[in-house]
A = this chain, B = another copy of it.
Amino acid sequence: MDFLFDNVTIEGGFIKEKQNLNIETTIWAVYNRFKETGRFDALKCLWKEGCEDIPKPHFFWDSDVAKWIEAASYVISKNPSKELEDIIEQAIDDIEKNQWEDGYISSYYTVVKDEQRLTNRDRHELYCIGHFIEAAIAYYYATGKDRLLKIMEKCVDFVYKVFFEEHSAAFDTPGHEEIEIALLRLYECTNNKKYFELAKYFLLTRGKSEKDIHHRPDLEMKYFQSDKDVYNLETAKGHAVRASYLYTAMAHYAKLSGDEKMLESCRTLFNDIVNKKMYITGGTGSISRTEAFTYDYDLPNEVAYAETCAAIALMFFSQKMLHVENKSVYADIVEKCFYNGMLSGISVDGEHFFYVNPLEIRLLNRTRSDNIKDESKRSERYPITQRVKVFNCSCCPPNVNRVLASFEQYIYHKNEDVFFVDQYVKSTYDDGKIKVITDTLYPVTGDVKIKCEGVKKLAVRIPAWCDNFALNASYEIKDGYAFIENPDEIELCFELKPKLVSANPSVFAVSNKVALMLGPVVYCSERIDNIVDNCKLYIDKNIKAEIEYSDEFMLNTVTVKGYERKSSDALYENFNEEFTETKIKLIPYSVFANRGESDMAVWLNYR
């Protein structure tokens, strides 16, 4: 495979449990919803105008199915399943049957003739094709079967002809990025330079094409990352998922091409996101409408968008940067996104999903009335408070499926000289020459044992959250990794204690508040665990905490010393500081809203 997936086996611990849940429950939950809603059958292209038996397909449905196939393929790689394979084979039959003679694939445009194919930049055609390419690659690596791969190569040849040779589509670059990622992976899989050329074309044409301007006249071009060329983007703008998919492809391109200017652009964008536009959970996109990046330090909690897919997209971008630069900051962000803003997208039971991941819930605020009877016309909109089984726009669930099923790829990486341990997971890497066995309960504890065979130089990440660690070997720190020559049995101990984190004071929404972290895990207070509303709780700044492992969450919960703010019934009174001591129970942010509706807050007052 084009990454380290094949050589890695996850052996146990939190992530193994999440993977098992994915295999046993989540992948089927998503499949069943997609089957029920007609997404799989849409590949048969049977819908016609006036047809009432079959749901009319949506133009993004292909991408949902494709991501599911990709995820199922990762599952098959590690846990062969005839049942999953049969579903995929059926889907491939349908795709093959309905591929246009020229190679074009779209279950939407094949049946819904509302406009010509490739005339509307915002109709996700290349986005869907991109996901089919990634599915084809994953299925090929998992099974050795190249039927879908060949179908997609034929399709890409068509895209190449239309976009690269003829420029005959109504636009030059896709409205929703993704095919750029897929084409670079296809290039690595097939070694066919044409795919690299096409990806490069899409990347370098972006923001410079007059044909790309007029497809959504209501939206600013920055929404599509099309206001500037990729070398001059400067700040993360527009739709957060689209943007981060683009940056992922840019980073991959920079690695493959050695284009230093492109890499510099990626660095600028990465730093802009993580230093100015990222929630503490790794979520991005702080405005609901257009699901987009906004201005620096604008990170409201209650109306956060922080789409599950955006956290995943930032993982992708960070991982690509890690493989170019070998700096721990990138693996830190992968970890932050995974344990917080991405995992919050899925319920503990593995069957329910959040698309939007707010950092605060105030149920009372949902009653805020502007006296408009029709709720859909009210001025206030808030994210839902409970995960649901299915969304109309269902990009997030299969994205969670594929990240969980392929977490192996995030754990290790290597270059000519060094073997890097990026994520701490109980797992084995074995490529025949090198064998590395990691034993740990991380992030439940901070202790990690690593046994190495055939490794000349080992680099272990010192997580950004860790202020103290012990290591039983001599090491040198560089770029956030501890480098150890000729390692044998390494024992690492990251001091895991609850700590308070503050945001830059420019973050208005959390000015004068703190969040609690334990290792990479961000915590929150749910009203149901505590005696008063979150806004009346104050954490003692000299933190005194009890840690308790939760079987339900498979992570630690933390109870800290705190205070409840007291007051008279008056609306305003002379300033005073009347508090009573109390305990505040905090749970991992990722598991909020698993025990019914409740107020929730990541950021709390302190004293």
The residue in chain B whose Cβ has the minimal distance to the Cβ of A292 is B371
The residue in chain B whose Cβ has the minimal distance to the Cβ of A293 is B369
The residue in chain B whose Cβ has the minimal distance to the Cβ of A569 is B275
Q: Is B500's CB under 8 angstroms from A575's CB? A: yes
Contacts of A569 in B (CB 8 A): 275, 504
Q: Is B370's CB under 8 angstroms from A292's CB? A: yes
Within 8 A of B (CB), among A536-565: 536, 538, 541, 565
Q: Is B512's CB under 8 angstroms from A512's CB? A: yes
Contacts of A570 in B (CB 8 A): 275, 504
Q: Is A574's CB under 8 angstroms from B499's CB? A: yes
* A502 close to chain B: CB less than 8 A: yes
Centre residue among A222, A297, A508, A567 by max chain B CB count within 10 A: A508
Contacts of A378 in B (CB 8 A): 289
Centre residue among A298, A370, A499 by max chain B CB count within 10 A: A370
Q: Residue-by-residue, is A468-511 near B (CB-CB < 8 Å gives 1, otherwise 0)?
A: 00000000000000000000000000000001111111111001
Q: Is B567's CB under 8 angstroms from A504's CB? A: yes
Within 8 A of B (CB), among A353-371: 362, 364-365, 367-371
- Partner pick for A501 among B297, B538, B575, B605, CB 8 A cutoff: B575
Within 8 A of B (CB), among A266-315: 274-276, 278, 280, 287-290, 292, 294-295, 297-298
Given contact pairs A373-B220, A605-B511, A500 touches B574 in the complex (Cβ within 8 A): yes
**Closest Cβ–Cβ distance, residue A366 to chain B (whole Å):** 10
Contacts of A506 in B (CB 8 A): 533, 535-536
Subset of 10 A-B contacts with CB under 8 Å: A239-B371, A276-B571, A287-B370, A295-B367, A502-B572, A504-B567, A504-B571, A511-B605, A512-B605, A514-B575
Centre residue among A292, A535, A605 by max chain B CB count within 10 A: A535
The residue in chain B whose Cβ has the minimal distance to the Cβ of A219 is B371
* A238 close to chain B: CB less than 8 A: yes
* A573 close to chain B: CB less than 8 A: yes
* A372 close to chain B: CB less than 8 A: yes
Q: Is B371's CB under 8 angstroms from A220's CB? A: yes
Q: Is B220's CB under 8 angstroms from A372's CB? A: yes
Which 3 pairs from chain A and chain B are nearest by CB?
A: A500-B575, A223-B371, A511-B535
Q: Residue-by-residue, is A565-607 near B (CB-CB < 8 Å gives 1, otherwise 0)?
A: 1111111111111000000000000000000000000000110
Contacts of A146 in B (CB 8 A): none
Contacts of A535 in B (CB 8 A): 505-506, 508, 511
**Closest Cβ–Cβ distance, residue A315 to chain B (whole Å):** 17
The residue in chain B whose Cβ has the minimal distance to the Cβ of A515 is B572
Contacts of A220 in B (CB 8 A): 369, 371-373
A contacts with B: majority SS: loop
The residue in chain B whose Cβ has the minimal distance to the Cβ of A362 is B508
Contacts of A217 in B (CB 8 A): 373
Centre residue among A288, A502, A505 by max chain B CB count within 10 A: A505
Given contact pairs A367-B295, A371-B219, A374-B218, A572 touches B504 in the complex (Cβ within 8 A): yes
* A102 close to chain B: CB less than 8 A: no
* A467 close to chain B: CB less than 8 A: yes
Q: How far is the CA of A275 from the CA of B567 in the complex (A)?
A: 13
Q: How far is the CA of A502 from the CA of B577 in the complex (A)?
A: 10
* A116 close to chain B: CB less than 8 A: no
Contacts of A367 in B (CB 8 A): 295
Interface residues of A (CB under 8 A from B): 217-220, 222-223, 238-239, 274-276, 278, 280, 287-290, 292, 294-295, 297-298, 362, 364-365, 367-374, 377-379, 467, 499-508, 511-515, 533, 535-536, 538, 541, 565-577, 605-606
Contacts of A502 in B (CB 8 A): 567, 572-576
- Partner pick for A565 among B365, B501, B505, CB 8 A cutoff: B505
- Partner pick for A298 among B368, B377, B606, CB 8 A cutoff: B368
Q: Is B379's CB under 8 angstroms from A289's CB? A: yes
Q: A290-B372, A505-B565 are in contact. List 7 more A-B contacts (CB 8 A).
A: A219-B371, A222-B371, A280-B572, A288-B370, A365-B508, A505-B567, A512-B512
Q: How far is the CA of A167 from the CA of B567 in the complex (A)?
A: 51
Contacts of A274 in B (CB 8 A): 571
Q: How far is the CA of A275 from the CA of B569 in the complex (A)?
A: 8
**Closest Cβ–Cβ distance, residue A272 to chain B (whole Å):** 10
The residue in chain B whose Cβ has the minimal distance to the Cβ of A568 is B504
Q: Is A290's CB under 8 angstroms from B575's CB? A: no
**Closest Cβ–Cβ distance, residue A344 to chain B (whole Å):** 17
Centre residue among A222, A274, A289, A575 by max chain B CB count within 10 A: A575
- Partner pick for A370 among B290, B371, B505, B566, CB 8 A cutoff: B290
The residue in chain B whose Cβ has the minimal distance to the Cβ of A499 is B574
**Closest Cβ–Cβ distance, residue A234 to chain B (whole Å):** 15
The residue in chain B whose Cβ has the minimal distance to the Cβ of A511 is B535
Q: Is B572's CB under 8 angstroms from A379's CB? A: no
The residue in chain B whose Cβ has the minimal distance to the Cβ of A222 is B371
- Partner pick for A275 among B219, B369, B371, B571, CB 8 A cutoff: B571
**Closest Cβ–Cβ distance, residue A190 to chain B (whole Å):** 36
Q: How far is the CA of A511 from the CA of B219 in the complex (A)?
A: 37
Contacts of A513 in B (CB 8 A): 512
